[in-house]
Amino acid sequence: MRILTNLMLAAGLAIASLSVASGANAAAPQPELAPAPQTELAPAPGAVEEAAESAADAAPAFEYAAPTEGIGMPSGGLGIQPQVSEVGEQARWFHDALLMPIITIISLFVLALLLWIVVRFNRRRNPTASKTTHNTTLEVVWTLVPVLILVFIAVPSIGLLQAQYNLPEGETVTVKITGNQWNWTYEYPDHGDILLVSNMLEEEGEQGEGARFRTDADGPRLLAADERMVIPAGVNVRFLVTASDVLHSFAVPAFWTKIDAVPGRLNEGWTRVDREGVYFGQCSELCGARHGYMPIAVEVVSPEQFERWVISQGGSMPGSEDASSDAAEEDNTEAVEDAAETAAADSAAAAS
């Protein structure tokens, strides 16, 4: 009887403990379950390519400009081509200011002296030759006057030379130029290692199979090139010039630029062109059988157009990669902070 009573008491206690436990579980707040991670669906085949093509179509493509008649090319007239750089304007003024006095004053003065001597001191008018051996005053004059003239010319000449080789401070685009038999290679080391090989465009009917021929939009005959050097307007452009085989010379008359290309040596020059357009030059150093078929074509565009051209060539603007890295790092930092805040909130909810 006592055993039966103990069993009944144990069963009652077990039932009571189960009721209390179920009530406590019902009263305790249930933690919210985190939402299941959403799996992104893979894009359908061809969707990535279509999106890329749509983006390429939306972005304005770079278009090369047609040259302007008489600008940046020989015009068939006398004189120097119109200059489009500050150094070129200074050099043209110096050329005109020096050449005209030499022609009009010095040359005519010397010619007048020769004519006067022929008329005054000929054999007919002077049957007895003069015994004069020297004239100190005259010798001093014809020695000092040329020296003073040369000193007068040297002052602006040295200033012009200094301006041609002193690169001003500010934004600078560097182009490495290599002369080859018989074409030019242009590299942009600061813009993603862009590399261009520039050859002369043949006339229609003379080009090789599959090659394009020259049109008026490319430039004059013997000056049009299949690849143009592209530089921004109003920005300093540093030229690093060398050669891979023999002597060449990189010359663009409208820039007042002529830099020798020497194998094994790196010569430097610079320009800053404010006027947009297309400008032509040629190799100015005899370099072999096809020396006359090494044209130079340079297109000057706005800085915005230059950036567009760099991107179209697969390059990048200086600093753009750093900016992208900083943005990516900032996004990663924000993502880590958001995850930490979410984990802290979940822990607090579970604890309460």
User: For the chain, which residues make up each domain, given as ranges?
Assistant: 69-116+153-318
Distance from C-alpha of 2 to C-alpha of 88, rounded to nearest angstrom: 124
Q: Take residue 265 and report the two structure tokens written for it.
A: 């040596």
What's residue 342's pLDDT? 67
Cα→Cα distances 5→8, 9, 13, 277, Å: 5, 6, 13, 112
What's residue 133's pLDDT? 84
Strands (E), 22-107: none
Structure confidence by residue, pLDDT tens digits, 139-164: 999 999 999 989 988 988 999 999 98
CA 311 to chain centre: 12
What's residue 280's pLDDT? 97
Strand 295-301 vs strand 229-232: parallel, antiparallel, or unpaired? Answer: parallel
* Sign of the CA dihedral running 7, 11, 12, 16: positive
What's residue 195's pLDDT? 95
Strands (E), 85-158: none
Q: Which CATH number fits domain 69-116+153-318: 1.10.287.3510, 3.40.640.10, 2.160.20.10, 2.60.40.420?
A: 2.60.40.420
Q: What is the dihedral of CA 56, 302, 296, 271, to 10 degrees?
A: -140
What's residue 46's pLDDT? 54
What's residue 335's pLDDT? 56
Return the closest-CA partner of residue 264 out of 185, 178, 198.
178
Contact 237, 270 (CB under 8 A): yes
Q: What is the DSSP letter of 44?
A: P
Tell me the Ramachandran region of residue 79: left when phi exceeds 0, alpha when psi lies from -120 to 50, beta otherwise: left
What's residue 178's pLDDT? 97
Structure confidence by residue, pLDDT tens digits, 50-101: 544 554 444 457 889 999 988 899 887 777 889 999 999 999 998 888 888 8
Distance from C-alpha of 213 to C-alpha of 205, rounded to nearest angstrom: 8
What's residue 260's pLDDT? 96
Sites in the chain below the pLDDT cut of 50: 1-7, 9-10, 13-45, 48, 51-52, 55-59, 323-328
What's residue 14's pLDDT? 46
